[in-house]
Structure 1
Amino acid sequence: MESVQEIDLNALTPIGRSSYLGLLTSTGRQVKIILVKGAEVLPLQEAAALRRKLVEELSGKVGLPVPFPVEIKSGPCIFEGSAAWAFVNSYVPGSDLTSIVRRLAPGQDSELVHEIGQATGVSLAVLHSTSKRLVRAGHKEDTEPDDQEIVWREATLTRQEVLARRVRDAIKITALDDHQLRRARSLAGVFTSRFRSTHDHAVDEATDCLIHTDLHGGNIILDTSAPSGARVASFIDDQLSVGDSGYDIASIQNWAFEVMDEQSFITFSHGLEIGYKSLIPRYTLRNSDLLLYLTDRSLGRLAYYARSAPKWVEPYGSERLIRHLDLLDRIASAAVSPDSFTDPFATVRRLAT
């Protein structure tokens, strides 16, 4: 295995905030390198260790794709004159979903949009179903089976409340006019404590597994030049936290709702459902959790553009940001029974159209 030092860190091509393309000097093979420092190192080391365990788990399951780049090497290095840590992963060919969608006209290539959704659904189901055993094995004997899920929900509630306050207190949100800003603030006020309630799970309802936690089109790579049946959605920049699988499902549909026209969104969501349920056929989600996760993601988008100097990146745009206001409006109007369960795909389609 090639050491980090044998990769020329002075000849890298930046492709993100801390991501680069480089070459293995022995073979000329292209690789992706993540270079981080300080507090960023430990969580990425922990995520890398979890991915290695998942690869081992998947190695005995014929026919299931590995839904993320495989680690080649990691270790300390000197980058730009200071100590850093390099994570060297296999390079995944293809384009991110955001780039693919950017090239599509409204309503165009519905077959491709469906295949994108289906490939994403399969890879998500692989990640969620394969990691359940690893998460269960990681529980200590004195830990209740759903403790991790409660921790995840509490963290989501806390984050959602912080985002709501940030939107409610925003002086401006890029691309929203005064009327829309007032609407955003009003909705944020509605959601400040909307989901704070007693939330007990029966033991057999625990859904904790490893999840991506920041799932959007920019973090999913797909090679559209590959044969239709051989397209694998690869997740990049994952943080692999223990949490509720529904958060990933809500996140990717929230992204699609923002960037796609209505018909493309419906097509993508149906493909996502078919792909996911091909491995987890009877999947349901607590209704209040689904709405919490959608709210968290939409408030996060509004809060991002309440920052001092956000940048639009196509296919995002002002008219698309308003879609989050519409979605929050519909969630605010939804009557929610905390103990009811729902199909998270059909429910999001219902809210979005």
Structure 2
Amino acid sequence: MESSLKVDLNTLTSIGRSSYIGLLKSTGRQVKVILVKGAEVLPLQEASALRRKLVEELAGKVGLPVPFPVEIQSGPCKFEGSAAWAFVNSYVPGTDLTTIIRRLAPGQDSELVHEIGQATGVSLAVLHSTSQSLAEARHKEDTGSGDQEIFWRKKILTRQELLARRVREASKITALDDREIRRARSLAGAFTNRFGATDHHVADETQGCLIHADLHGGNVIMDTAAPSEARIASFIDDQLSVGDSGYDIASIQNWAFEVMDEQSFTTFIRGLEVGYRSLIPRYTTRNSSLLLYLTDRSLGRLAYYARSSPRWVEPYGSERLIRHLDLLDNIASTATSSDSFTDPFATVRRLAT
């Protein structure tokens, strides 16, 4: 990579299509370098600017963790012969949650699983609770509207319809047999336009905030060797969109449902709830919104493995996609005649166990 940033990628380890991690020779500092081109540059620049503002906001709040790596620098560069943009972040020590959970036997070390969930809940609540003013300003700049919840909901409905179509049209979905693929197609069809007509919004019910927007265990880093009271869940590869906090809460629970056994899943969710409610004690969300977000994430997983060549392969691969079919079945059978506020932690536990 040719760049004024003077980062030699040859000294770092490639961890993806255009991501590298390692120690800087000059300082010994652990870093992650992300290189992007074209349309990918602007969203990451905007997310990076929002992250810096959040870190400044958190710096004035004693006792709150900073749940992000710190950006060292960013700028233009040449990558693979064409113009690109590099983001260099100091990388937090630790391991992603997916890898941590993968190493545990079913039901093993419930205390650790609870602590992981709790630390994740605290960091998630920090992100949501400290970003409301930033979200309001950002949303008004983008849309000229203060109605953040409806804006976010419409965005997810559009995405869900696209994902459902991809699943319906899939000729194969990695790790699913023909019968399961037919079931996936049927479920995708059942969710087309399912949530679009729900008139649930009442002004000032919820406050928008900045959300991670792609929250799963591969994007949460934690140092399990640190004392439990010092463990911080640090978010990486965030998109920092203005949205509904319930989307992040649904996303991380959706991930846990896929990768964990039932006992670990329940333990993790209880820890997540304890951590989140320690800062946001009376959090509830609309039942229809929670179901929409869970459906979006599950259809997204199925659509991802319907590709001819998925870009990334997680440590657990596609072997547990069947769990998303079970979750979608349970959501589809949930009565929708009336909408109300719900406890998102208890609701997901009920749907998944």
TM category (shorter chain) comes to: over 0.9
* 1:315 paired residue number: 316
- Aligned partners of 1:67 and 1:123 also within 8 Å: yes
Whole-Å separation in 1 of the counterparts to 2:303 and 2:250: 18
Whole-Å separation in 2 of the counterparts to 1:22 and 1:4: 19
When normalised by structure 2's length, the TM-score is: 0.94
Percent of residue pairs identical: 79
Deviation, 1:76, is 1.2
Whole-Å separation in 1 of the counterparts to 2:4 and 2:126: 30
One-letter code aligned to 1:308: S
* 1:285 paired residue number: 285
What CA deviation, in whole Å up to 9, does each residue of 1:40-70 have, x standing for no partner? Answer: 1111000000001101110110010011101
User: Helix, strand or coil: the match of 2:104?
Assistant: coil
1:260 aligns with 2:268: no
User: Helix, strand or coil: the match of 1:86?
Assistant: strand
* 1:232 paired residue number: 232
Structure 1 residues without counterparts, runs of 5 or longer: none
User: Helix, strand or coil: the match of 1:328?
Assistant: helix
Residues 130 and 4 (structure 1 numbering): CA distance in 2 closer, same or farther, change over 3 Å?
Answer: farther
Whole-Å separation in 2 of the counterparts to 1:286 and 1:139: 21
* 2:112 paired residue number: 112
User: Helix, strand or coil: the match of 2:131?
Assistant: helix
Whole-Å separation in 2 of the counterparts to 1:200 and 1:286: 8
What CA deviation, in whole Å up to 9, does each residue of 1:179-236 have, x standing for no partner? Answer: 2111111111100111011435222213311011111110100000000011000010
One-letter code aligned to 2:98: T
- Aligned partners of 1:288 and 1:337 also within 8 Å: no
Residues 180 and 84 (structure 1 numbering): CA distance in 2 closer, same or farther, change over 3 Å?
Answer: same
User: Helix, strand or coil: the match of 1:349?
Assistant: helix
CA RMSD of aligned residues (A): 1.8
When normalised by structure 1's length, the TM-score is: 0.94
What CA deviation, in whole Å up to 9, does each residue of 1:144-175 have, x standing for no partner? Answer: 432x3212111100111111111112222122
1:352 aligns with 2:352: yes
User: Helix, strand or coil: the match of 1:88?
Assistant: strand
Whole-Å separation in 2 of the counterparts to 1:222 and 1:82: 35
Superposed, 1:1-353 pairs within 5 Å as 4-138=4-138, 140=140, 143-146=144-147, 148-310=148-310, 313-318=314-319, 320-337=320-337, 339-353=339-353
Whole-Å separation in 2 of the counterparts to 1:317 and 1:323: 10
Whole-Å separation in 2 of the counterparts to 1:291 and 1:253: 12
Residues 58 and 89 (structure 1 numbering): CA distance in 2 closer, same or farther, change over 3 Å?
Answer: same
Deviation, 1:275, is 0.4
- Aligned partners of 1:139 and 1:145 also within 8 Å: yes
Deviation, 1:337, is 4.7
- Aligned partners of 2:11 and 2:24 also within 8 Å: no
Whole-Å separation in 2 of the counterparts to 1:28 and 1:268: 35
Q: How many aligned positions are there?
A: 349
More moved, 84-93 vs 169-178: 169-178
Residues 140 and 172 (structure 1 numbering): CA distance in 2 closer, same or farther, change over 3 Å?
Answer: closer
User: Helix, strand or coil: the match of 2:267?
Assistant: helix
Deviation, 1:25, is 4.7
Whole-Å separation in 2 of the counterparts to 1:31 and 1:140: 34
